[in-house]
Chain A
Amino acid sequence: MADGPVADVLLRRLEAADGGLDSAELAAELGVEHQAVVGAVKSLQALGEIIEAELRSTKRWELTAEGEEIAREGSHEARVFRSVPPEGLAQSELMRLPSGKVGFSKAMSNKWIRVDKSAADGPRVFRVVDSMEDDVQRRLQLVRGGQAEKLAEKERSELRKRKLLTEVGSWRDRPFKPYNFSARGVLPDSGHLHPLLKVRTQFRQIFLEMGFTEMPTDNFIESSFWNFDALFQPQQHPARDQHDTFFLQDPAEALQLPMDYVHRVKRTHSQGGYGSQGYKYTWKLDEARKNLLRTHTTAASARALYRLARKKPFTPIKYFSIDRVFRNETLDATHLAEFHQIEGVVADHGLTLGHLMGVLREFFTKLGITQLRFKPAYNPYTEPSMEVFSYHQGLKKWVEVGNSGLFRPEMLLPMGLPENVSVIAWGLSLERPTMIKYGINNIRELVGHKVNLQMVYDSPLCRLDAEPGPPQTQEAA
């Protein structure tokens, strides 16, 4: 490691040295393996711009056992030459000498000897020259003397071919460093999808698998009318307070509202109707015109249901949306001024609370949540309303995972939906399940520019129904 003793010594030596150090020399000097020095260099390099290193390859050569013998005793061909007396030698006898076979052909091609095949008792070998230079021996002796560089590349390679010379450190003779399976591999260069949006993809997938059609939600700016009034949320409702909602200065007011419908909404708020007592207050158009950043995607659902109501005859629908909503709230580790809302809506004749619970069970099962229970709750635009709780194995308690209900008749009937059509709906935030899924405690690390990119790089696939962890028990709620 970088702070190991070798790296330490290396840095000290480098500081003192002029013009760098040779790793091999340093290894020899320190009496450590060359690999230890190389390792220290690599780990120092990994720290950034601390040291510079360049790769130098030096080749060293040494003699093989046969080469050693030749350097000592002369080449085979020289030995063959020397064994041939002036009167010649029978070839068969020459071949029996230790260097005979190899030396004979070499000496022949060197034209040091000749063969007289017509001799009486078989072929006979004679010297051609009186003396010769044993270049092979001389060259090998040079190598042995550490002067391999005095040889031409061609000469060295010829000696290598004859297996007299070998390159020091040649991989063939070296033991391989074993693979380090406990170390991390090098990650491929790649792009990454954002974890929150990976979860969004999964939620979209779940809705699509369940036959839900995606609603258009690409309008962050909404009028108070669609965001509140259409949902039968009274104009004095706390959510319509400056403290909770971002209102717009420009464009401050909606330019158009569907006035027929607006009048029906106004009447329902102020006087009642459709079987309702109404809220009995003075409903103001100015208040409904006020533009804002939508506080929930239910505003988009209201628009979608209004469009549905205008299409005759009524056809049942299943809708969903996942998009941003905005709240002028106090910010903390789990709340931002904007977050993503997931919403599901089913409209059909005769839908019941039992249907809502059935759909929720299927939906949450796909998220890997099987233990559900339902708590009565209050929402201004749903009645009956129910909060959805699931048992959290880690926290050992029931936690709220969503909100749901049947839209109020005071919302649906002014739109023009048939009286026996019920609309069930539920919603949850995208951030919360994502934070739980990826173990993120501070929402700022997930959403916005302060995102931890390393976290984005490292985040695993989003497989909501394959959650690791303790198995869910089958006990009833």
Chain B
Amino acid sequence: MPTVSVKRDLLFKALGRTYTDEEFDELCFEFGLELDEITSEKEIISKEQGDKKAEGASDVVLYKIDVPANRYDLLCLEGLVRGLQVFKERIKAPLYKRVMPNGEIQKLIITEETAKIRPYAVAAVLRNIKFTKDRYDSFIELQEKLHQNICRKRALVAIGAHDLDSLSGPFTFTAKRPSDIKFKPLSKTKEYTACELMNIYKTDNHLKHYLHIIENKPLYPVIYDSNGVVLSMPPIINGNHSKITLNTRNVFIECTGTDFTKAKIVLDIIVTMFSEYCENQFTVEAAEVVFPNGKSYTFPELAYRKEMVRADLINKKVGIRETPENLAKLLTRMCLKSEVIGDGNQIEIEIPPTRADIIHACDIVEDAAIAYGYNNIQMTLPKTYTIANQFPLNKLTELLRHDMAAAGFTEALTFALCSQEDIADKLGVDISATKAVHISNPKTAEFQVARTTLLPGLLKTIAANRKMPLPLKLFEISDIVVKDSSRDVGARNYRHLCAVYYNKNPGFEIIHGLLDRIMQLLDVPPGEKKGGYVIKASEGPVLRPDELP
């Protein structure tokens, strides 16, 4: 869940009133947000790096607010305020408009070299915007939040924002050999080739996480203006030339990526959020993107979509009985402008470009329920009549574990994942003989394989509890996993029972006795006859007679 950090006083100013922390927490809860932490820059630094470093840092109160992962429209102060103000019916949701420029439209031409690495791009212009320090910071922060979330750490989409007045279109989005790309990147004082930059950024705590996206590709994506000035080398870094400042009035925004839908959503979110500060509020200047096939598209889409939902469907899914008019009012409070039409039971809902999360009627139902107030919904019990059944394997497990304890053995609970060594080398077995499933991305050796036997876990439990008085009598009834090509996934669980007796003397008769007891409980008679059990000696590698005392 993304966390958005906003200055409390700035937030209250924008909301037009103040709240106590409790009141604001309550409001968040109702709206589906979570006031996660109340802190300050000073507090954060002092917590992470010590009081010394925090000296002189700002002690402006910050609210850290958890935002649902699908609500990209709430990832900045501007969006949060707009959402809450509409929710509280203090303002109406703005209508976002795309406008054509007075002069020539800004063009971004995609060349076919990008196809293999980053095939999509969209663009737009924020005209006559007025930044302040706080607005500028929020603008940068929103890009970062989008990069971390919907953009999947820039893998799907990367955003570049540029001072349009420092550039001259049309722009070209192409891909070149890294050695052929040379420019002065953001906050550097000289030019580097792309190869050099990739090396430099290997030690950059922020940028090093994105290098892998293009690192091993023969061509790197790059955007030029008509004079050959580099705007950006997505998804790594922008050029320093077109860097936006507090004085920037016209912003050219490009989003490049591998997911066209997400690139369009990201662009829509940025321009809807920050067109608030344009001279013509909530208007966005269009830009044209020409694809390698010659087709050209105008962005941002800022598409409004109409959905039709019957009022009784909403009532039926939520479990309330509201009039269609009331439901329309509730939805309008969620930035979904709605009205009752047709037979008086139909609600027409306008989905704004900010709400890409609304993809089905069920999303609309949820918003109606949120506006109604989850905690105002009458709780009822379904009349669903069913007979309960236990899963037979679990039923037997439950019965048996109680009797294992009654037999004086204590239940252990060990990990299903372990190292290759645990199930093979340490037991004197070759790993290839185990039929174990192997994990491809373990962070440590503890998670290399799923266990094929419960024994290592019990032995490790004993090893970790040597301070306990003897004897230790342990058991576990749980699942192990082995490959099995007859199963759809190629592996299956088996439920195993394992018991260990640990004392100064071997006490084989005790484990033998336990086995007899288990067989007795399972109603399996001893003896060679059919349905009976016998114990036979085997040359297992686990128990080595020469090592027994």
Interface residues of A (CB under 8 A from B): 189-194, 196-197, 201, 204, 207-223, 236, 238, 242, 246-257, 272, 274-281, 291, 293, 316-318, 324, 326, 328, 336-338, 346, 348, 350-355, 357-359, 361-362, 373-378, 383-386, 406, 408-410, 422, 424, 446-454, 456-457, 477
Cα A406 to Cα B361 in complex, Å, equals 13
Q: How far is the CB of A432 from chain B (nearest CB, A)?
A: 15
11 A-B pairs (CB sep. < 8 Å): A191-B406, A191-B411, A201-B398, A207-B388, A213-B386, A219-B493, A220-B493, A236-B259, A291-B490, A376-B32, A376-B68
Selected contact of A348 from candidates B365, B384, B465, B487, CB within 8 Å? B384
Within the complex, what minimum Cβ distance (angstroms) separates B465 from chain A?
5
| A324 vs B495: C-alpha distance when bound (angstroms) | 13
Q: Which residues of B from 15 to 71 have beta carbons under 8 Å from A?
A: 29, 31-32, 34, 68-71
Contact check, A352 vs B319: say whether CB atoms are below 8 A apart: yes
Does the CB pair A221–B481 fall under 8 Å?
Answer: yes
**Which residues of B lie under 8 Å from residue A350 when comparing CB positions?**
316
Distance (whole angstroms) from the CB of B480 to the closest CB of chain A: 9
Asked whether A293 lies within 8 Å of B488 as measured between CB atoms, the reply is: no
B394's nearest neighbour on chain A, judged by CB, is: A214
On chain A, the residues within 8 Å of B377 by CB distance are 353-354, 357
- Which residues of chain B are within 8 angstroms of A454 by Cβ–Cβ distance? 468
Tell me the minimal C-beta distance from A448 to chain B in angstroms: 5
Q: Judge whether B440 is part of the interface by a CB distance below 8 angstroms.
A: yes
Residue of A nearest to B418 (CB): A449
Beyond A220-B479, A291-B491, whether A250 also contacts B437 by CB under 8 A is: yes
Residue B472 is within 8 A (CB to CB) of chain A in the complex: yes
B490 with A191: CB separation less than 8 A = no
Query: Which chain B residue has the least Cβ–Cβ distance from A385?
Result: B366
Residues B479 and A318 in contact, CB atoms below 8 Å apart: no
Q: Which residue of A lies closest to B473 (CB)?
A: A191
The one of A209, A337, A357, A375 that contacts B34, using a Cβ cutoff of 8 Å: A375
- Give Cα A257–Cα B487 distance, bound, in whole angstroms: 11
CB distance from B355 to the nearest CB of A (A): 11
Q: Could you tell me the distance between the alpha carbons of A280 and B156 in the complex, rounded to whole angstroms?
A: 13
- CB of A215 within 8 A of CB of B391, answer yes
Report yes or no: A211 in contact with B388, Cβ–Cβ below 8 A.
yes
Closest to B407 in A: A191
| B10 at the binding interface (Cβ < 8 Å) | no
Q: Is B415 engaged at the interface, CB distance under 8 Å to the other chain? A: yes
Quick check: is B548 within 8 A (CB to CB) of the other chain? no
Bound Cα distance from A24 to B32, whole angstroms: 78
Quick check: is B534 within 8 A (CB to CB) of the other chain?
Answer: no
What CA separation (Å) do A217 and B439 show in the bound complex?
Answer: 20
Closest A residue by C-beta to B442 = A246
Residues of B within 8 A of A (CB): 1, 29, 31-32, 34, 68-71, 149, 152, 156, 259-262, 316-320, 359-363, 365-366, 369-370, 374-375, 377-382, 384-391, 393-394, 398, 401-402, 404-417, 437-443, 446-447, 450, 457-458, 460-461, 463-465, 468, 472-473, 475, 479, 481, 483, 485, 487-493, 495
Which residues does chain B contribute within 8 Å of A196, judged by CB atoms? 413
The answer on a CB contact under 8 Å between A247 and B441 is: yes
Please tell me if the beta carbons of B460 and A293 are within 8 angstroms of each other in the complex.
Answer: no
Bound-complex Cα distance A408 to B398 (A) = 34
**A293 contacts B404, C-beta separation under 8 Å:** no
Name the residue of chain B whose CB is nearest to the CB of A188.
B408
> Which of A208, A238, A477 counts the most chain B CB atoms within 10 A?
A238
Residue ID in chain A nearest B375 by CB atoms: A373
Residues on B with C-beta less than 8 A from A212 are: 386, 388
A357 to B1 alpha-carbon distance, docked (Å): 23
Structural contact, A374 and B359, CB atoms closer than 8 A: no
Taking a contact as CB atoms under 8 Å apart, the answer to whether A355 and B359 are in contact is no
CB distance from A250 to the nearest CB of B (A): 4
**What residues of B have a CB within 8 angstroms of the CB of A424 in the complex?**
382
Q: Which residue of A251, A348, A450 contacts B490 across the interface (Cβ within 8 Å)? A: A251
Which one of A197, A351, A477 has the greatest number of beta carbons of chain B within 10 Å? Answer: A197
Given contacts A375-B34, A410-B360, A447-B413, contact A351 B382 (CB under 8 A): yes
Known: A246-B441, A453-B472. A375 touches B374 (CB 8 A): yes
Q: How far is the CB of B445 from chain A (nearest CB, A)?
A: 12
Closest to B317 in A: A352
Contact present for B386 and A422 (CB under 8 Å)? no
Residue of A whose beta carbon sits closest to that of B156: A236
Q: Is the CB of B360 within 8 A of A449?
A: no
Q: How many Å from the CB of B59 to the closest CB on chain A? A: 24
Which residue of A222, A346, A362, A409 contacts B384 across the interface (Cβ within 8 Å)?
A: A346
Given A218-B393, A328-B447; A249-B68 close (CB under 8 Å): no
CB pair B385–A353 under 8 Å, yes or no, is no
- A374 cross-chain contacts in B, Cβ below 8 A: 374-375
Q: Which residue of A lies closest to B351 (CB)?
A: A277
- Nearest A residue to B446 via CB reads A337
B358 (CB) vs chain A CBs: closest residue: A277
Inter-chain contacts of B378 with A (CB < 8 A): 354
The interface centre, meaning the residue of A214, A281, A354, A447 with most chain B CB atoms within 10 A of its CB, is A354
Please determine whether B32 and A375 come into contact, CB atoms closer than 8 angstroms: yes
Q: A191-B411, A249-B439, A255-B489 are in contact. List 16 more A-B contacts (CB 8 A).
A: A190-B405, A201-B398, A208-B388, A216-B391, A238-B69, A249-B438, A275-B360, A316-B384, A352-B317, A358-B379, A373-B374, A374-B375, A376-B369, A449-B412, A449-B414, A451-B465
A383: which B residues are within 8 A, CB to CB?
360, 362-363, 365-366
Q: Which of chain A's residues have a CB closer than 8 A to the CB of B447?
A: 246, 328, 337
Are A213's CB and B29's CB within 8 A? no
Question: B489 and A193: CB pair below 8 A?
Answer: no
* Contact across chains for A409 and B413 when beta carbons are under 8 A apart: no
Min CB distance B390 to A, Å, is 5
Q: Which residues of A contact B490 (CB under 8 A)?
A: 221, 251, 253-255, 291
Q: Is the CB of A338 within 8 A of B393?
A: no
Contact call B362/A352, Cβ cutoff below 8 A: no
How many whole Å from A170's CB to the nearest CB in chain B?
A: 37
Partner among B362, B408, B460 whose Cβ is within 8 Å of the Cβ of A189 = B408
A452 to chain B, nearest CB (A): 8
Contacts of A279 in B (CB 8 A): 261, 359
> Is B68 a contact of A451 with CB atoms below 8 Å?
no
**Do residues B413 and A194 form an inter-chain contact, with CB atoms below 8 A?**
yes
Complex contact A451–B374 (CB within 8 A): no
State how many angstroms separate the Cβ of A296 from the closest Cβ of chain B.
Answer: 15
Closest chain B CB from A119 CB (angstroms): 81
Residues of A within 8 A of B366 (CB): 376, 383-385
Q: Are A193 and B363 in contact (CB under 8 A)?
A: no
Chain A residues closer than 8 Å to B380, beta-carbon distance: 352, 354-355, 358
Contacts A250-B483, A328-B447, A352-B317; A362 near B405 (Cβ below 8 A): no
Partner of B319, one of A218, A219, A354: A354
Which chain A positions have C-beta within 8 A of B464?
A: 449-451
B31 near A453: Cβ-Cβ < 8 Å: no
Cα separation A221 to B34 with both chains bound (whole Å): 34
Q: Are B384 and A318 in contact (CB-based, < 8 A)?
A: yes
Return chain A residues, CB-CB under 8 Å to B481.
220-221
**Do the beta carbons of A409 and B491 come within 8 Å of each other?**
no
A361 touches B379 (CB 8 A): yes
Instruction: Say how far A253's CB is from chain B's closest CB, in angstroms.
Output: 8
Q: How far is the CB of B361 from chain A (nearest CB, A)?
A: 6
Residues of A within 8 A of B69 (CB): 238, 378
Q: How far is the CA of A446 from the CA of B461 in the complex (A)?
A: 11
Contact A248 B417 (CB under 8 A): no
Give the distance in Å from the alpha carbon of A291 to the alpha carbon of B492 in the complex. 12
Q: A254 to chain B: which residues have CB within 8 Å?
A: 488-490
Chain B: which residue is nearest A289 at the CB level? Answer: B489
Q: Which residue of B lies closest to A190 (CB)?
A: B408
Distance of A443 from chain B, by nearest CB (Å): 11
Complex CA gap A217/B495 in Å reads 12
A216–B397 alpha-carbon span in the complex (Å): 13
Closest to A215 in B: B391
Task: Indicate whether A449 sits within 8 Å of B457 (C-beta atoms), given known contacts A212-B386, A375-B34.
Answer: yes
Whether A408 touches B414, Cβ cut-off 8 Å, given contacts A211-B386, A377-B68, is no
Could you tell me the distance in whole angstroms from the C-beta of B330 to the nearest C-beta in chain A? 13
